[in-house]
Chains A and B, each alone.
Chain A
Amino acid sequence: ELKVEQNPLFLSMQEGKNYTIYCNYSTTSDRLYWYRQDPGKSLESLFVLLSNGAVKQEGRLMASLDTKARLSTLHITAAVHDLSATYFCAVPPMDSNYQLIWGAGTKLIIKP
């Protein structure tokens, strides 16, 4: 059974600092998704990583995937307050075209 773990679950940091959120998954999968959720809002898509070594970047966020280690990272560079949100990773089981298995989310608070 596929399990997805994120850490940390909560992160408070200062503006201008760098940090990394980790997403581990327990069985083979061929892609991984990152989503963002602002407080009281729904989820919006950030990145999909489709192969080993894939890297995607948008602004101060960069995501990467290591399928051999079953690990994805979401790196935040020079954090700004607007990036405060909860970040989720999600992984599809190999035997499903429909489902995503979700991590518990990382709540990120960036203090000015």
Chain B
Amino acid sequence: DVKVTQSSRYLVKRTGEKVFLECVQDMDHENMFWYRQDPGLGLRLIYFSYDVKMKEKGDIPEGYSVSREKKERFSLILESASTNQTSMYLCASSLSGIWQYFGPGTRLTVL
């Protein structure tokens, strides 16, 4: 079974803090994704990566950056957290053209 893990299930941070969300997959998948999920808006893609050190902006990259130094790990960074970044963050991984497998999600609250 594919396993995608995320470093925290719940996180509370203060405005202006730097926040790191980590995602690890164990199936040697090429592609990894970061989404945020807000009520009524579905899933919105923040960034994705199709190879180590490669990244592409998604629909809402502003205020976020990513890092993929190893194939199995994809990090999402909030350089200076703001209250409008309070959300559920979902990481996913996939082989090209096939299912995206999701991690359990991190519910981030920024105070």
Q: Does A100 contact B (CB under 8 A)?
A: yes
Residues of A within 8 A of B (CB): 9, 33, 41-45, 48, 88, 90, 92, 97-100, 102-105
Which of these, A9, A43, A45, A99, contacts B45 with CB under 8 Å? A99
Which single residue of chain B is at the shortest CB-CB distance from A92?
B97
Cβ contact within 8 Å between B99 and A97: no
Using C-beta atoms within 8 Å of the partner chain, give the interface range for chain B.
20 to 34
Cβ contact within 8 Å between A42 and B42: no
User: Chain A residues with Cβ under 8 A from B92's Cβ?
Assistant: 43
Cβ contact within 8 Å between A45 and B41: no
Cβ contact within 8 Å between A98 and B94: yes
Cβ contact within 8 Å between A97 and B97: yes
Smallest CB–CB gap between B45 and chain A, Å?
Answer: 7
Cβ contact within 8 Å between A42 and B40: no
Cβ contact within 8 Å between A43 and B90: yes
User: Chain B residues with Cβ under 8 A from A97's Cβ?
Assistant: 50, 96-97
Q: How far is the CA of A105 from the CA of B42 in the complex (A)?
A: 6
User: Chain A residues with Cβ under 8 A from B48's Cβ?
Assistant: 98-99
Q: Is the interface of B mostly helix, strand, loop or mixed?
A: strand
Q: How far is the CA of A43 from the CA of B56 in the complex (A)?
A: 22
Smallest CB–CB gap between A98 and chain B, Å?
Answer: 5
The 9 closest A-B pairs by CB, nearest first: A104-B42, A97-B96, A102-B43, A43-B102, A42-B102, A102-B42, A42-B104, A42-B105, A98-B31
User: Chain B residues with Cβ under 8 A from A105's Cβ?
Assistant: 42
Known: A103-B42, A104-B41, A105-B42. A98 touches B50 (CB 8 A): yes
Which single residue of chain A is at the shortest CB-CB distance from B2?
A45
User: Chain B residues with Cβ under 8 A from A103's Cβ?
Assistant: 42
User: Chain A residues with Cβ under 8 A from B56's Cβ?
Assistant: 98
B residues 22-41 in Cβ contact with A at 8 Å: 31, 33, 40-41
